[in-house]
Amino acid sequence: MLKFKNTLSGNIEEFSPIEPDHVRMYNCGPTVYDYVHIGNLRSFIMADLLRRAFLFDNYRVTQVMNITDVGIGGDNDEGEDRIIKGLKRENRPITLEAMKELTEFYTQAFKEDLKKLNILSPEVFPKASEHIAEDIEFVKILEKKGFTYPTSDGIYFDTSKDPHYGKLGGAGKEEDLARIEPNSEKKNRKDFSLWKKNSTLGYESPWGIGFPGWHIECSAMSRKYLGDHFDIHTGGIDLAPIHHNNEIAQSENACGTTFVNFWIHNAFVNVSGNKMAKSEGNSFTLQTIIEKNIHPLAYRYWLLQARYSTPVTFSWEALEAAQIGYERLKKQFHALGTETGTPVPKYIEIFTEFIDEDLNTPKALALVWELLKDENTPPKHRKATLLEFDRVLGLSLHLSNSSNDLREINVVNLPENIQELLQERLAAREQKNWNRSDEIRDNLATIGYKISDNEDGQKVTQL
Handedness of CA 447, 450, 453, 458 (dihedral sign): negative
The enclosing H or E element of 233 equals: strand 230-236
Find, among 364, 350, 348, 456, the residue nearest to 411 by Cα.
456
Cα 427 to Cα 188: distance, rounded to the nearest angstrom: 69
State yes or no: pLDDT of 222 exceeds 50. yes
The residues, any chain, with a CB within 8 Å of residue 178's CB and separated by 6 or more, are none
- Average pLDDT (246-272) is 96
Cα 392 to Cα 401: distance, rounded to the nearest angstrom: 20
CB burial of residue 276 (10 Å; 0-12, 13-18, 19+): buried
Helices and strands (H, E) in the chain, number of each type: 15, 17
Find, among 384, 385, 449, the residue nearest to 414 by Cα.
449
Least confident of 15-24, 31-40, 433-442, 448-457: 448-457
Tens digits of per-residue pLDDT, 291-312?
898 999 999 999 999 999 999 9
Cα 65 to Cα 50: distance, rounded to the nearest angstrom: 13
Q: Enter the pTM of the model.
A: 0.85
The residues, any chain, with a CB within 8 Å of residue 334's CB and separated by 6 or more, are 401
Mark 17-34 as b/e (b = at least 16 C-beta within 10 Å): beeeeebbbbbbbbbbbb
**Ranges of H-type helices in 256-411:** 286-291, 296-304, 316-334, 345-356, 361-372, 379-393
Instruction: Output the pLDDT for position 322.
Output: 96
Instruction: Output the pLDDT for position 380.
Output: 96
User: Does residue 385 contact residue 421 with C-beta atoms inside 8 Å?
Assistant: no
**Strand partners for 80:** 75
- Average pLDDT (415-434) is 79
Q: Fill in the amino acid letter for 338.
A: T
Q: Which residue has the higher pLDDT, 415 or 214?
A: 214
State yes or no: pLDDT of 14 exceeds 70. yes
Residue percentage of the chain with pLDDT more than 90: 73
Instruction: Output the pLDDT for position 372.
Output: 97
Cα 267 to Cα 309: distance, rounded to the nearest angstrom: 5
Q: Does domain 3-270 have CATH number 2.40.50.140?
A: no
Tens digits of per-residue pLDDT, 316-341?
999 999 999 999 999 999 999 999 99
Q: What is the CA radius of gyration of the chain?
A: 24
Cα 127 to Cα 122: distance, rounded to the nearest angstrom: 13
Please report how the helices 296-304 and 96-116 are oriented relative to each other, as an axis angle in degrees rounded to 10: 70
DSSP 249: H
- Average pLDDT (252-258) is 98
Cα 81 to Cα 78: distance, rounded to the nearest angstrom: 8
Q: Which CATH number fits domain 292-393: 1.10.3210, 1.20.120, 1.10.260, 1.20.1250?
A: 1.20.120
Q: Are strands 11-14 and 22-27 parallel, antiparallel or unpaired?
A: unpaired
SS3 260: strand
**Ranges of H-type helices in 68-211:** 82-89, 96-116, 132-144, 174-177
- Average pLDDT (22-38) is 96
Q: Following DSSP, what letter does each residue of 142-184 receive, concatenated?
A: HHHTT-EEEETTEEEE-GGG-TTTTTTT-S--HHHHTTSPP-T
Residue 120 has phi, psi (to 5 degrees) of -60, 140
Cα 333 to Cα 402: distance, rounded to the nearest angstrom: 11
State yes or no: pLDDT of 365 exceeds 50. yes
Cα 316 to Cα 288: distance, rounded to the nearest angstrom: 11
Tens digits of per-residue pLDDT, 150-197?
999 999 999 999 999 999 975 555 555 555 666 789 999 899 999 999
Range from 65-69, 84-88, 281-285 that averages highest in pLDDT = 65-69
SS3 101: helix
Kindly list the domain boundaries of the chain, sorted by start residue: 3-270, 292-393, 411-462
User: Does residue 348 contact residue 385 with C-beta atoms inside 8 Å?
Assistant: yes
Cα 363 to Cα 288: distance, rounded to the nearest angstrom: 29
Instruction: Output the pLDDT for position 404.
Output: 43
Instruction: Output the pLDDT for position 276.
Output: 87
- SS3 per residue for 21-78: CEEEEEECCCECCCCCEHHHHHHHHHHHHHHHHHHHCCCEEEEEECEECCCCCCEECC
Instruction: Output the pLDDT for position 77.
Output: 59
Instruction: Output the pLDDT for position 412.
Output: 47
Span between the terminal Cα atoms of the chain, in Å: 39
